[in-house]
Amino acid sequence: MHLSRYFLPVLREVPKEAEIVSHQMMLRAGMIKQSAAGIYSWLPLGLKVLKKIENIVREEQNRAGAVEILMPTIQSAELWKESKRYEAYGKEMLRITDRHEREMLFGPTAEEVVTTIFRDSVRSYRDLPKNLYNIQWKFRDEVRPRFGVMRGREFLMKDAYSFDLTADGARAAYNRMFVAYLRTFARLGLKSIPMAADTGPIGGDLSHEFIILAETGESQVYCHKDLIEGAIPSADTDFDEDLSPIIKAWTSLYAATDEKHEAERFAKDVPADKQVSARGIEVGHIFFFGTKYSEPMGARVQGPDGQMVTLQMGSYGIGVSRLAGAIIEASHDKDGIVWPVPVAPFEVGLINLKAGDKDTDAAAEGLYDKLQAAGIDVLYDDTDERAGAKFATADLIGLPYQLVVGPKGVKAGEIEIKTRKGGAKETLPIEAGLAKVIEAVKQQRVLV
């Protein structure tokens, strides 16, 4: 992409309305634009990040055996009356009346919709187990939308729903999502910690929140320090195997959100030098709730003995749009964002220090073509901005590698490579520099 043709409205000033770094940087880097309280447009750079996050989430859901669908954003109130959640959900639900005076709502979650899909199409235990997921916009009329996309009113969620014949089967489905989540967040360059959590309006009695430690997090959390560097299950994990040893390893050390915290047990079970009490961002939340929805909504299948059995269910959410902010909270410096390669909007920024100079233009265009041919996602700054402004923008938008091409270097047959993380700079012969950057990007595309 040539920057001269792109849409990248960067801001030099820190916007006053933004309280936390990720919100400030998303606005400054021209990733998002607020449209109404807690409702945002995603501008090109932000959208690229969102799509990359979404794709990693999707790949790991598929790997774990979940099947993608797409459910509507607007739902009928009837469904929520069946599950008895319509009144209980309260003011966070955006209620809408259509032209025929029918009660509708903008879905804050989709347990009801997916349960009817399953109820109306699956008859036999032979069709189980199944896990259906979608990546769709949700709306919750939060009392205090804040921190940009971290607590929006409209936000993108991956929500998966598992259906099993038995509670044991449902537990195995829960474990598969648990493992998928560990892998997903690690691939996004994050250290997530699963913590015992409250179930709130979703319900059920087994639940974990996946938490990223960050000072600006909205949750108070407590855990054993060793969990921060816990082992991530590998890409060849067999999801048909019993995954409980992995779950056991992750859940045998203390980790709880504020609502589930037991101060005495924490003090007793965790050595003083391993006690972490910190703020955290909830990026995912998984629930096992058995028959909470299937029972009132009549979702049953015929079991092996011919008897009808009420389905055992769980649901599994990831805050896809929240993750864009969470990754920035975890990875930035004073100059801007420091994207991990797998989610970087572009993998390389190519900076032409003297656009308009024939030789520099030719060298930069040549590098651009070669990077493109090697499959690298590159943003080419071909504008006539000052060098200082170009560097500032490149640092702010956080591309992992910057390739700098100027008239002096071109004469000497050299380019400068800057690694955004840590800021190391190196001058190399053009071809060698190019090869090095391509190799570095390819190596970091898949982190686990």
Residues found near ligand 5CA in the complex (CB under 6 A): 109, 111, 140, 142, 151-152, 155, 157, 159, 202, 282-285, 315-317, 319, 321-322
Other C-beta atoms lying within 10 Å of the C-beta of residue 239: 15
CA distance 56 to 132: 17
Q: Which amino acid is at 184?
A: T
- By CB neighbour count within 10 A (0-12 exposed, 13-18 middle, 19+ buried), where does 271 fall? exposed
The nearer residue to ligand 5CA, 257 or 393, going by C-beta atoms, is 257
Q: How far is the CB of 156 from ligand 5CA (least distance, A)?
A: 8
The residue number whose beta carbon is nearest to ligand 5CA equals 319
The nearer residue to ligand 5CA, 150 or 376, going by C-beta atoms, is 150
Q: How far is the CB of 202 from ligand 5CA (least distance, A)?
A: 5
Q: How far is the CB of 235 from ligand 5CA (least distance, A)?
A: 24
Tokens coding 305 = 């003995």
CB 367 within 8 A of CB 350: yes
The nearer residue to ligand 5CA, 151 or 176, going by C-beta atoms, is 151
The nearer residue to ligand 5CA, 184 or 393, going by C-beta atoms, is 184
Q: Which amino acid is at 258?
A: D
Which of 422, 231, 227 has the alpha carbon at shortest distance from 331?
422
Tokens coding 182 = 């560990």
CA distance 76 to 335: 47
Q: How far is the CB of 327 from ligand 5CA (least distance, A)?
A: 13
Q: How far is the CB of 266 from ligand 5CA (least distance, A)?
A: 23
Q: How far is the CB of 110 from ligand 5CA (least distance, A)?
A: 7
The nearer residue to ligand 5CA, 176 or 390, going by C-beta atoms, is 176
User: 209 in the Ramachandran plot: left (φ > 0), alpha (ψ -120 to 50) or beta?
Assistant: beta
CA distance 49 to 65: 25
CB 345 within 8 A of CB 49: yes
The nearer residue to ligand 5CA, 177 or 415, going by C-beta atoms, is 177
CB 379 within 8 A of CB 398: no
The nearer residue to ligand 5CA, 286 or 344, going by C-beta atoms, is 286
Q: How far is the CB of 322 from ligand 5CA (least distance, A)?
A: 4
